[in-house]
Amino acid sequence: MADFRRCMIVLAALALLLGTVSTVSAAGFQCQTNAATPQQARQQGITELMGDLVLNCTGGVATDAGVKVQTVNITVTLNTEVTSRLLDDNVNGSEAILLVDDPAEGTQSVCFASAAPCTMWGQGAIATSTYLPGAAPANINKNVFQGQWNSNQPGSIVFRGVPIDPPGTNRALLVMRVTNVRGNATRFAVSTGVGIGGIPIFMTIAVSNPSALPINNPQQIVAYVFNGLVQKQDDQVSFKQCNDVNVSGGKLKFLGDDADYPDSPGFAGYVKAIEGFASAFKIRTIATTPVNPSGLPTRQDAPGANYPAVESGFYNPGDVDTDYADTRIATLGLADAGTRVKVELNNVPVGVHVYVPLVIASGLLQANLVKNEAGAYSAAGASSFDAGGGLSEVTISAGAGVAVYEIVAEDPSNTEEIDVPIIIAYIANPAGNSPSITSGPSTGGVSFAPTTTPPDYASEDSGTPVPRFLDTSTQANRFSVNACRTNLLYPFVSNQAGYDTGLAVANTSQDPYGTITQHGTCALNFFNGSTTPPPPATFTTADVGAGSVYTNLLSIVAPGFQGYIIAVCNFQYAHGYAFLLGGTPGGANQVAQGYIALIIPDPGRGIGASPFDEGGPGSGEQLGF
């Protein structure tokens, strides 16, 4: 934070200095700044590409032939940190570059930061650019200048020793273009809705010798910050611990249709990533396609070209010099990957397997599942769980897992979304508490990827990735696995006026039909608002094992109570019986009556009073399911 404040002080000082500089030299040489198309920056992005800053210079006197051209240091400063990748460890040489006279492919020659200043020789009053590498007398003129970054001034890039040869009267313009500047957009808080935002990022340019390069309007807007990602999810989905999900022949197997996930078993809803603005999803390079997902090799070396839905900037892997030891200059402007979207899952029960599609496509958009959050493109493999080969299993560790998709095709003119269906599977074993019953539902969230935490502003080629983002995901309930229950209603019990009631619960999950055995306790809930004393607190039985019967007396579990009981048993296939006994033996008030408890469909399943057709094939006994 202290470094950033120093950066802002420097920016303010530069602005004050520039306000006092004369804009026209004695020879009529002057430069006008303008910003090429400002970029739309994602508020979650740490390495967002800025738009180019361009100087159009006219007039002055061209340097005589054979005379060394005077040089200046040019500094550009953002109102946030510069995060362009560093390519030279020794001098913090950056991927940010300054192009002179917009050199075409095949004529681009680099002055490395480690070699600055690079000597340039004047050509006199000629009609063509004097910044061509083949210019006499030594054929060494440069037209691509590598910037330097300083951690003490993280918002600035300096281009040292840039020769300034005015166009004079024979050339129309001297054009100087600053490109490949990346900035930290996370400094700016914007609203989270689609299309809301628009906070400007400014770039200010200053020179060490203003008389050699007089500049009008030194500050321009190079980007607007918008919210780049909106998260949505379907409603929470519930599953039962005692029912197999996506199981056939005792093995996990997808029983649905890849083309219709919502109708398939184990569908746990969608996690949705929606662009905050059109082109927030970006491919790696202009050559990226579903057939060529890495986007290599290709060049993006036309000065001034605008690629609004591409993570890479100005990139020329073929025409750079190798005069100096650092050949990594060949990767300047190249992003490591297209935009990646990360689905984060938490609190996944032990025993639950999670699957997601290998490919998500909608309209012109396509996102492919990749193996890692960061690093080179590597497609995830299909799981044998799905015979169609369309699903891959998410690795779950300590209840957490991630699925990462990379954008390989998109429509830059429309807002798009990635809907990731979550498919689960498990073999039911409630007696072994598998899948486990967690303290709350499983949750899901979504963010851009890879994620990191600043400060990690400018980075070395071998260091943190480009692009990279803050993790802004918000976890929301995705699915739950609930214990199987049976709800028993004892409509009348009494331990008053000499009466007592015997209570029994039978766990019939052990049978000759191969039913999955279960066990658990029963919570006895007492109801009768007119009882004096009032109904007692809930009574919890001992664990009722499969094939066993729990018995007790009302006089023991709730002395003096009269009313009705709802027993919530944490296992399927519970059955209840009550026996009411009391009165004077042989008298008119003597009662000896037994009845079977009624079974209430489990409200947790959301099926109301229709239990009998909801058990599903192979579920065994249906009563009270």
According to DSSP, the β-strands at 144-150 and 110-111 are: parallel
Q: How far does Cα 15 stand from its chain's mean position?
A: 37
What is the residue type of 393? E
d(CA 31, CA 166): 10
Mean pLDDT of the chain: 87
> Are 624 and 599 in contact, with CB atoms under 8 Å apart?
yes
- Beta strand pairing status for 174-179 and 93-100? antiparallel
Contact by Cβ (8 Å): 41, 201: yes
Distance in angstroms (rounded) separating the CA atoms of residues 491 and 562: 10
Whole-number Å distance between alpha carbons of 146 and 346: 45
Burial 378-417 (b: 16+ CB within 10 A, else e): eebebbebbeeebbbbbebeeeebbbbbbbbbbbbeebbb
- The pair phi, psi for residue 248, each rounded to 5°, is -140, 130
* pLDDT, average across residues 517-542: 88
Tens of pLDDT, residue by residue over 162-183, are: 999 999 999 999 999 999 999 9
Give the list of residues 6+ apart from residue 394 with CB closer than 8 angstroms, or none: 345, 354, 355, 356, 401, 402, 403
Residue with the two structure tokens 């914007």: 190
Task: Round to whole Å and give the CA distance between 53 and 66.
Answer: 30
Say how far apart CA 84 and CA 457 lie, in whole Å.
8
**Gap between the Cα atoms of 534 and 531, Å rounded:** 5
Taking the CA atoms of residue 306, residue 307, residue 309 and residue 311 in that order, the dihedral angle to the nearest 10 degrees is -110
What topology does CATH give the domain 486-605? Hypothetical Protein Tm1070; Chain: A (2.60.290)
The pLDDT of residue 4: 43
What pLDDT does 605 receive? 52
Which DSSP category does 196 fall into? -
- Give the whole-angstrom CA distance, residue 617 versus residue 371: 37
- What per-residue confidence (pLDDT) applies to 325? 43
Q: What is the dihedral of CA 442, 444, 450, 455, to 10 degrees?
A: -90
Q: In this predicted model, which residue has the larger pLDDT, 38 or 601? A: 38
Q: How does strand 53-58 pair with strand 251-252?
A: unpaired
pLDDT at position 548 is 97
Query: In this structure, are strands 476-482 and 359-362 parallel, antiparallel, or unpaired?
Result: unpaired
- Once rounded to an integer, what is the mean pLDDT over residues 210-230? 95
Give the pLDDT of residue 15: 42
- The answer to whether the beta carbons of residues 478 and 233 sit under 8 Å apart is yes
pTM for the full model?
0.84
CA atoms of 147 and 303, how far apart (whole Å): 17
Rank 9-13, 516-520, 584-588 by mean pLDDT and report only the highest. 516-520
For residue 48, pLDDT over 60 is answered with yes
Give the pLDDT score at 463. 65
Distance CA 617, CA 516 (A): 13
Q: Please, which residues bridge with residue 444 across strands?
A: 345, 476
pLDDT digits (tens, 9 = 90+) for 479-518: 999 888 899 999 999 999 899 999 999 999 999 988 888 8
Say what the pLDDT of residue 459 is. Answer: 64
Neighbours of 79 (CB within 10 A): 18
Question: Any residues with CB less than 8 A from the CB of 12 and at least 6 apart, and which?
Answer: none
